[in-house]
Amino acid sequence: MVRRRCPLMAEAICLVGHRQTRNRGTLGGSLCHLDPSAELVSVAAALDATVIVACPNGQREIAFADFPVAYMTPAIEPNELVTAVRFPVWPKGHGYAFIEFARRHGDFAIVSAGALLVEDEAGKIQRAAVVIGGMGMVPIRAAELEQALIGHAPHDKLLREACETCRKLDAVDDVHAPASYRQHLATVLSRRALEAASARLPSRAAAAPAS
């Protein structure tokens, strides 16, 4: 069901650690840990998820954009518990892709990129979401890149030029990679994710040669 209704999550989960990690971890636990390189954290950002938390006095809903308050610190009180997460479902036939660069399979990503696309009847992008993980305190929605795609067919020149905006995103320097390297990865991976997502759009999939 997840693969059919929310394929971005299904693709991202395959990159989470190893099978033992995936079998023992939980979705809510990953979101509360809030590592900016974690795949499910990026998926929640891309899909504009809503986190439901409960305490003895009742429950409240937190938009995922408001969920991080500091590095690896979610907006939940000491007496609150995450009880559910709602992921809005994109329309049938949307394009999607999630890719990352890590030193080894199973490691946290140095940078990741997730993309979602919806096309109109003319094959032009009607809706887009691009999230970059591993750049800073939280995954970043590449708003300038998303806007550059709207109203255009996703051809190679457009994707290359639009993804260059990722070089301007704020990024951290740490022992794993300098900020400039992360910005370069964001530019390259966002383009690759968008290329894969656009190839899954109905107009592109129908035109692809049979294998």
DSSP string, 54-91: EETTEEEEEEGGGSEEETTEES--TT-EEEEEE-PPPP
pTM across the whole model: 0.93
Q: pLDDT-derived band of residue 108, with 50, 70 and 90 as boundaries?
A: confident
- The mean per-residue pLDDT over the stretch 118-142 comes to 96
Q: pLDDT at residue 207 above 90?
A: no
| CB contact at 8 A, 133 and 39 | yes
Query: What is the C-alpha to C-alpha distance for residues 63 and 44, in angstroms, rounded to an integer?
Result: 10
Rounded CA gap, 44 and 67, in Å?
10
Are residues 151 and 124 in contact, defined by beta-carbon separation less than 8 angstroms? yes
* CA proximity to 189, closest of 112, 116, 102: 112
Which pLDDT does position 25 carry in this prediction?
87
Q: How confident is the prediction for the chain on average, in pLDDT?
A: 94
